[in-house]
Amino acid sequence: MRTPVAAPQRGAELGTDEARALFAAMLAGEVVPDELSAILIAWQRRRFSLAETTGFMRALDAHAGRLEMPHDGPRPVLLPAYRGTRRQANLTALLALLLKRYETPVLVHGLGSADVAPAGLAGGARALPEGANAGPVTTAEVLWELGIEPVANLADAQARLRHDGIAYARTALLAPGLARLFAAVPRDSRPTIAYTVARLIDPFGGDGYRLASADSADDLASMREFLLASRADALLFEGTEGEPFAEPRRQTRFEHVAAGVVTLCADADADGIHGEPSLPAGIDAATTATWIANVLAGTEPVPPPIIVQLGCCLAGARRLAAPFGRRGER
């Protein structure tokens, strides 16, 4: 039965328990469509308080799928790929495959082509009329071009992590209720709340190593506050167009967050990168995938900022995970 829920007043801040109860109802599909739309509209582009984010994540934890931690080796690295890129090549897949090469399991999760493509388009390559707007190039598309298809279910994800070292899971598989929120509003007006919590999904019960990719300095501060308060382990940085890879043309600042403490892994370089890095000739998924394959084959160099990010990820993934489940309630 769907529950009538009053939309929060514009600017009104919720407490942790209120935020948890409201978001749990939204994820469970218990909020009537008109009220759900009103809430999402009210929350468009809004920054949330620590209490609200804590409540939202507690609700999401109860509605998300679960995967088992590997019994040995590095902890899994979680790459949240939700926005895609419009202005430059999407290199999230390169980072994922480099981590795999260094025997670090990688779970990429996000919206697939069917979730973000214009109406009537889905799957891998997008055949568009000349001049049509293809929208962002998603990590799912680049992975597809590289032969990595979305997992079919959680058991498939577990098996691929164990045997292949990499898996791509759509949001609809890890958190069906959250996927419904993404689908409830048009692509270009999706609310901050969906992206806020999606970037923090961890099906390993808090023991995965999350890449916390922020959109701006304000977003970075908000994510740092939550990660510290929840004592989560993550690599915190400003991503590229919302994707979790380092801007290849300049050095990004990376911070390790662990057990309520922030330590610097790499500082930003005010002078930028010396020399223009080698990058794909185009930003489409096929061109990007071909370039990534060349990088992995050693015929193209890895952009220096991606090398720095890879080192930070490897260091974070090799820290010992908690031996008994969760690191503590949020």
Q: How confident is the model at residue 325 (pLDDT cuts 50, 70, 90)?
A: very low
What gap in Å lies between CA 264 and CA 218, rounded to an integer? 18
Of 329 and 101, the structure prediction assigns the larger pLDDT to: 101
DSSP string, 255-304: EEEETTEEEEEE---TT--SSPPP--SS-SHHHHHHHHHHHHHTSSPPPH
Average pLDDT for 29-52: 87
Quick one: pLDDT at residue 76? 96
Does position 102 have pLDDT exceeding 50, yes or no?
A: yes
Q: What is the pLDDT of residues 138-189, one digit of tens each?
A: 999 999 999 999 999 999 999 999 999 999 999 999 999 999 888 887 666 6
Does position 123 have pLDDT exceeding 60, yes or no?
A: no
Q: What is the mean pLDDT of the chain?
A: 85
- Which ranges constitute the DSSP H helices of the chain? 16-27, 33-42, 50-63, 92-101, 113-116, 139-145, 154-163, 171-174, 176-183, 192-198, 217-230, 285-297, 304-317
Average pLDDT for 250-273: 87
Place of tokens 């991606």: 306
Does position 319 have pLDDT exceeding 90, yes or no?
A: no
Place of tokens 């292949």: 164
Quick one: pLDDT at residue 323? 35
How many Cβ atoms sit within 10 Å of the Cβ of residue 167?
Answer: 27
Enumerate domains of the chain plus CATH numbers: 16-63 (no CATH), 77-317 (3.40.1030.10)
- b/e map of 15-44 (b: 16 or more CB within 10 Å)? ebeebbbbbbbbbbeebeeebbebbbebbe
Quick one: pLDDT at residue 190? 58
Percent of the chain with pLDDT over 90: 66
Q: How confident is the model at residue 238 (pLDDT cuts 50, 70, 90)?
A: very high
Q: What is the pLDDT of residues 190-216, one digit of tens each?
A: 557 888 899 999 999 989 999 999 988
